[in-house]
Structure 1
Amino acid sequence: MPAHVLILGGTTEARELAAVLAARPGVRVTTSLAGRVARPGAVAGEVRIGGFGGAEGLAAWLRERHVDALVDATHPFAETITANAARAAAATGLPTVVLRRPGWRPGPGDRWHPVPSLTAAARALPGLGRRVLLTTGRLGLAAFAPLTDLHFVVRSVEPPDPPLPPHLDVVLARGPFTSADESALLRDRRIDVLVTKDSGGVATSAKLTAARELGLPVVVVRRPPLPRGMGAVGDVAAVLEWLEGRGLGRT
Structure 2
Amino acid sequence: MHVLILGGTTEGRRLAELLDGDGTPGLRVTSSLAGRVAGPRLPVGEVRVGGFGGVAGLTEWLRAHHVDVLIDATHPFAETISFHAAEAAAGAHVPLLALRRPGWVPEAGDKWHMVDSLPEAAQLLPRLGRRIFLTTGRMGLAAFAGPESDGLWFLSRSVDPPEPGTPTPARTELLLDRGPFSLEGERELLRSHRIDVLVTKDSGGAATAPKLTAAREAGIPVVVVRRPPVPEGVRVVTDPQEAARAVREL
Match of 2:197 among 193, 198, 213: 193
Equivalent position SS for 2:138: coil
Give the aligned partner of residue 247 of structure 2: 243
Match of 1:14 among 12, 15, 26: 12
User: How many residues were matched structurally?
Assistant: 244
The separation in 2 between residues aligned to 1:190 and 1:36, in whole angstroms, is 31
Match of 1:155 among 148, 154, 157: 157
The separation in 1 between residues aligned to 2:206 and 2:114, in whole angstroms, is 19
Instruction: Give, in angstroms, the shift of residue 19 of structure 1.
Output: 1.2
Equivalent position SS for 1:41: coil
Provide, for residues 77-111 of structure 1, a one-character-per-residue CA deviation record: whole Å limited to 9, x for no partner.
00010010000011111111000000011010000
Instruction: Give, in angstroms, the shift of residue 126 of structure 1.
Output: 1.0
Instruction: Give, in angstroms, the shift of residue 21 of structure 1.
Output: 1.2
Equivalent position SS for 1:181: helix
**What is the TM-score with the length of structure 2 in the denominator?**
0.96
Provide, for residues 188-213 of structure 1, a one-character-per-residue CA deviation record: whole Å limited to 9, x for no partner.
01001000000001111000000000
One-letter amino acid of the structure 2 residue matched with residue 76 of structure 1 = P
Runs (4 or more) in structure 1 with deviation over 3 Å come to: none
Give the aligned partner of residue 208 of structure 1: 212
The separation in 2 between residues aligned to 1:74 and 1:123, in whole angstroms, is 28
Equivalent position SS for 1:237: helix
Provide, for residues 117-161 of structure 1, a one-character-per-residue CA deviation record: whole Å limited to 9, x for no partner.
001110111110000000001101111001121000000111123
The separation in 1 between residues aligned to 2:13 and 2:45, in whole angstroms, is 10
Aligned pairs (5 A) from 1:66-215? 66-146=66-146, 147-161=149-163, 162-215=166-219
Provide, for residues 17-43 of structure 1, a one-character-per-residue CA deviation record: whole Å limited to 9, x for no partner.
111112233211100000011101131
The separation in 2 between residues aligned to 1:126 and 1:217, in whole angstroms, is 12
Mark the runs of 5 or more structure 2 residues left unpaired by the alignment. Answer: none
Percentage of matched positions with identical amino acids: 60
One-letter amino acid of the structure 1 residue matched with residue 3 of structure 2 = V
The separation in 2 between residues aligned to 1:154 and 1:145, in whole angstroms, is 12
Instruction: Give, in angstroms, the shift of residue 244 of structure 1.
Output: 1.4
One-letter amino acid of the structure 2 residue matched with residue 52 of structure 1 = F
Instruction: Give, in angstroms, the shift of residue 179 of structure 1.
Output: 0.9
Equivalent position SS for 1:139: helix
The separation in 2 between residues aligned to 1:107 and 1:140, in whole angstroms, is 26
The separation in 2 between residues aligned to 1:24 and 1:115, in whole angstroms, is 41
**What is the TM-score with the length of structure 1 in the denominator?**
0.96
One-letter amino acid of the structure 2 residue matched with residue 96 of structure 1 = L
Give the aligned partner of residue 249 of structure 1: none
The separation in 1 between residues aligned to 2:42 and 2:127, in whole angstroms, is 43
Equivalent position SS for 2:52: coil
